[in-house]
Structure 1
């Protein structure tokens, strides 16, 4: 029944993939692991209701163990893939459970990584024994399982699903490899990533037909698996037809553009068809007329007027550097969102704000909000870290806004060797008891601050930070 897989994998590719996987696994957080463990648990539960455990009890041989391990790894891989495609949909309720869209993308990445691991385990457990038999290293065990009672349709379905999986194995490895390597351009990554929903649907077909080999449809496991595949297929179809975030999109027009001396593009948009309701600190995806790909930017307005939105964009990449030359007043823009849990909402007695460079944006929105609320109701210490004097930073009214709202403001200029350290924070504000930290800035800066906070015994759950890494 099972076709022999006579294939070779490029060793250098496998080495690079495994090496990259090892590096990222070491850096994984416990908050992400629970979603991985949950996905694996679902796969194991489905296997537990299958005929597999009974087959192992009746025939506890190495070959039967190998046979059932093929099914178990396949189930785990598919469960992880389903979790991955669900997280890619940007559903608000799911994002909240994960801790925000940025955290959902991180879990999405990890489920992809672990699904690759289990796909490789699944493939190698199925294929390597065939190679060993062909090389006469181990004896041929003959046909495993019950080969009776199969219709021609069942045989055709099983064989077609297996053939599709054989081809897609290499496609899947290539796509995940592209996603993992940051050196590959984001533009190319985005194009290739759109193939994933189609790949998932074909692999789901394999997952639905493979259990025919062991009469799974006489057990509850087959129907649990079909429910899982149906959920994943629904999510994949939404992604395949580019319908992600459709209900959260608003049409707007560029009302004003101002380019500041420090290279920050200050854009104001006015919505056309409906208001864009959001809170200070959140972000949205903008799709400009000259580029079909949406890009995430923090909203620099508080949401008091839901028809007017402000964005402060720094030219850091190819897209943002040429943005000023590509847009003009009167052009239409699609806004999708809002996203993010960086809303300055907590039960702490004191907040510490830390901004690095263009990371000032969510704090501008919050300052505008506080100005409309009569100022802050709790102590806030705001640290703004830049390269250059405060007079040359954006916005020019920052210090006066802080004074107006009763916020303690500190500026550090790295050009003068002024750096923010945990010792400096302690010296200025004392201990971190009943305090929360809200950070927006470069990723390396965030890691540095978090490392110092951990050594100081700070509860890292009170450190709030949005990651804009979309891969």
Structure 2
């Protein structure tokens, strides 16, 4: 499992939280249901600490999860799991006997009310976030920024309504203080400093090439070289009136360090506006690179699978290297207008004996499938394309090729 380090990090952090709450001593004796409720509530706060930490996209975390796509997968389900813990915590609190509740103070009652408010906030925001495909990207980002509010309310609730003294330098007190501080600072960092600290590769658009009815290639000239490896992608901000200032991810289709090429297909509001209105000499800022497609580390026998605009990371390699290993490319798209770089790939296959390409136009042919598709032993499989496509192909290939080495990048980042 390629994300094993990241998964272990989550398990160890959550387990530590559960054990510290379980073995901690309350200020005074409390009912068993209240004790369990505290453990569940502590786990929820720890879970949201991890959610905010993963959102920072720290390079070490990306490596532990073997790519941002996997990191965001665990980020999403950890948020849902933590919300479930919050709801369970609230249900258990309602079951606490009256004699236990009688020991509460006005301050703890107020903190309890804020905790309930935070719970409703988490429920509302997570439900909205789950319908991300119906939101504009900028609106989706605003929703995620608002998570700081219920998180802050939850921390206040934990400190001032808990029957454990979290202000003391006990193991539980130190752990809670560290995770709450890091979680809160991670959220503030994403709100305030991320845009300036991480987008430190500045440049401008020096070339525009329209490759079809909805595909455009941009040449970006940077002030300094970006440490790029073929198969990676970047987040880019385009500073032009009428375009969102929010960063968007795109695969690099070619680069020599200071000059970077990205190929964009007009699918959503932002990409359509870029296709129709982007101008030369527009300033840009880049964050990255990210991604774990590494063709050089693959075996001598490789199978490449690209869906639509997912051809770009493969082009980056081909345009810079004569293929020195056996590569078979399956390129699937819908309609000839979406078959970008087809002539280049055809010519490359003619002049390089190690490279072959299969074009699958789903407007004229059956959809590509890898059911009962056998690959030779020690074959590296690389895929890039829409999330549903690459996951379907991965499942098909693994079912017939036990132990197959499969790497992929999926388009879905949120």
- Deviates further, 76-85 or 445-454: 445-454
Q: Which residue of 2 aligns with 1:117?
A: 84
- Aligned partner of 1:298 in structure 2 is 251
Match of 1:23 in 2: none
Aligned residue number for residue 120 of structure 2:
170
Cα deviation 1:183-225 (Å, max 9, x = unaligned): 53133322211111343233223223333x3345374212221
CA contact (8 A) 1:49 1:219 kept: no
Instruction: Give, in whole Å, the separation in 2 of the partners of 1:390 and 1:263.
Output: 8
- Please state whether the residue corresponding to 1:258 is helix, strand or coil: strand
Q: Which protein is bigger by CA-based radius of gyration?
A: 1
**Structure 1 residues 377, 49: closer, same or farther in 2, change over 3 A?**
farther
| 1:235–1:392 distance in 2 versus 1, CA, 3 Å | closer
Change (3 A) 1:307 1:329: same
Distance 1:246 1:436, change over 3 A: same
- CA displacement, residues 9-42 of structure 1 (integer Å, 9 cap, x when unaligned): xxxxxxxxxxxxxxxxxxxx99986555334312
- What residue number does 2:348 align with? 401
CA distance in 1, matches of 2:401, 2:333: 27
Q: Deviations over 1:38-80 (max 9, x none)?
A: 343122122134115x98xxx7xxx712101111111111111
Q: Report matched runs for 1:348-387 at 5 Å.
A: 348-370=299-321, 375-387=322-334
1:423 Cα shift? 5.4
Tell me the TM-score normalized by structure 1. 0.79
Quote the residue 2:100 is aligned against.
143
User: Does residue 365 of structure 2 align to residue 417 of structure 1?
Assistant: yes
1:74 matched residue in structure 2 = 41
Structure 1 pair 263/71, CA: closer, same or farther in 2 (3 Å)?
same
Give the distance between the partners of 2:337 and 2:121, measured in 1 at CA.
Answer: 51
How has the CA–CA distance of structure 1 residues 233 and 346 changed in structure 2, closer, same or farther, with 3 Å as cutoff? Answer: same
Structure 1 unpaired stretches of 5+: 1-28, 131-139
| Distance across 1 between alignment mates of 2:86 and 2:160 | 17
Matched, 1:287 2:237: yes
User: Out of 279, 287, 292, which is 1:336 matched to?
Assistant: 287
SS at match of 2:280: coil
Q: Give the conservation status (yes or no) of the 8 Å contact 2:252–2:313.
A: yes
- Do the aligned residues in 2 keep the contact of 1:245 with 1:336 (CA within 8 Å)? no
Counterpart of 1:99 in 2: which secondary structure?
coil
Q: Secondary structure at the match of 1:322?
A: helix
TM-score, with normalisation over the residues of structure 2?
0.89
Deviation of the 1:306 alpha carbon: 0.9
Q: In structure 1, what is the equivalent of residue 164 of structure 2? A: 214
Work out the CA distance in 1 between the residues paired with 2:347 and 2:367: 23
Partner of 2:390: 446
Larger strand percent: 2
Q: What RMSD in Å do the two structures reach over aligned CA positions?
A: 2.8
Per the alignment, residue 97 of structure 1 pairs with: 64
CA distance in 2, matches of 1:208, 1:269: 50
Distance 1:241 1:161 in 2: 28
2:16 corresponds in structure 1 to 42
| 2:308/2:332 contact within 8 Å kept | yes
What is the CA–CA distance in structure 2 between the aligned matches of 1:183 and 1:160, rounded to whole Å? 37
- Structure 2: any 5+ residue segments left out of the alignment? none
- Asked if structure 2 preserves the Cα contact closer than 8 Å seen for 1:245 and 1:337, the reply is no
Aligned residues: 406
Map of 1:433 onto structure 2: 377
- Equivalent-residue separation in structure 2 for 1:244 and 1:330 (angstroms): 21
Aligned equivalents of 2:195, 2:115: Cα separation in 1: 27
Residue deviations 1:334-392 (CA, integer Å, cap 9, x gap): 1111111123243534211011111111011011231xxxx233221111122345996
Q: Does 1:458 align with 2:402?
A: yes
Whole-angstrom distance in 1 between the partners of 2:298 and 2:260? 28
Q: Distance in 2 between matches of 1:423 and 1:172?
A: 41
